Amino acid sequence: MSDIEAAYKESLQFAKNHYENFPVVSLLIKKDLRKYIAVIYRFARTADDMADEGNFTPEKRMDMLNAFEEKLSSAIKGNFTTGFEEALFHTINHKNLSPEHFFNLLTAFKQDVCKKCYENFDDLLNYCRYSANPVGRLVLELHGIRNDQAFSLSDKICTALQLTNFYQDTLIDYEKGRIYYPSDEMEKFGVDKKIFDLKENNLNFGKLLKFNIDRTRRLFKEGKELTAYLNGRLKYEIKWTILGGAAVLRKIENNNYNVFQERPSLSKIDFALIFMESLGK
């Protein structure tokens, strides 16, 4: 087995071993595209871990991310030292993917190291533009879709998924020093950092979270129009993804917005039910 073949195989296994709100490499993805999806996911997750995992100083994390970015730049030019870098080069070139999407992801991970709060929703949307939206655009490009309107609708779905993940990880993110609720909205609903310190699921926080969930649900609804540009397996994959995000939002609501005591997540049964629902719509 060549280095690149081994890297693709390792990437597929890497994707299967990590929990997300939807299967990264599902049966709804065409078999010949799964290895490319896995490489993209491995790239993003590896960089994300540099920004988040381990006991590193912010300076060290930035050094790691800068070095990772330099390796990306070299790989794009055809200069690589590992099987994974070769697989990344092959994925980008063979599928004619836009390198800017990969660099945008790294911009978001660097921002996680140095930016701990967001003044308003537009500020947060700008973060999602780098942290989430590139992934959806890469998936569309993999399937040969390069329509501006499709990209815009995909952005809505990806942003909604990112926001949903923020609500899930409210406590985890706070323990890392980050709050992804806009500061002006926290003030509007009478929520301050003490609530996070005390893990207090009070009425004010519930209203703040409900406001955010309602807005995120609207993004999912608007983004669902993307399916008009899709066909085959990808159409059902996107439906599944939207339904998965919506299911997490319902779990938060059904638990009285108490994201401090229990992180809402989807079970295998949930995935199966959502899968069947996506096929029926």
CATH placement of domain 115-281:
1.10.600.10
Alpha-carbon distance 97 to 101, whole Å?
A: 8
Supply the pLDDT for residue 35.
92
Supply the pLDDT for residue 195.
92
pTM here is 0.91
Sign of the torsion formed by the C-alpha atoms of 225, 121, 107 and 111: negative
The helix/strand count (H/E) of the chain reads as 14, 0
Supply the pLDDT for residue 27.
59
Supply the pLDDT for residue 21.
53
∠ at Cα 23 (64, 48), nearest 5°?
Answer: 10
Supply the pLDDT for residue 20.
57
Mean pLDDT over 216-226 rounds to 97
CATH placement of domain 1-114:
1.10.600.10
Supply the pLDDT for residue 17.
75
Alpha-carbon distance 90 to 84, whole Å?
A: 10
pLDDT digits (tens, 9 = 90+) for 12-39: 888 877 655 555 556 567 888 889 999 9
Mean pLDDT over 137-166 rounds to 96
- C-alpha separations of 82 from 33, 38, 67, 191, 269 in Å: 21, 16, 14, 48, 38
The ranges assigned to domains in the chain are 1-114, 115-281
pLDDT digits (tens, 9 = 90+) for 84-98: 999 999 999 999 999
What residues contact 133, with CB distance under 8 A and at least 6 apart? 104, 154, 155, 158, 159
pLDDT digits (tens, 9 = 90+) for 233-280: 889 889 889 999 999 999 999 999 999 988 888 777 766 677 676 676
- At 212 the three-state DSSP class reads helix
Q: How confident is the prediction for the chain on average, in pLDDT? A: 90
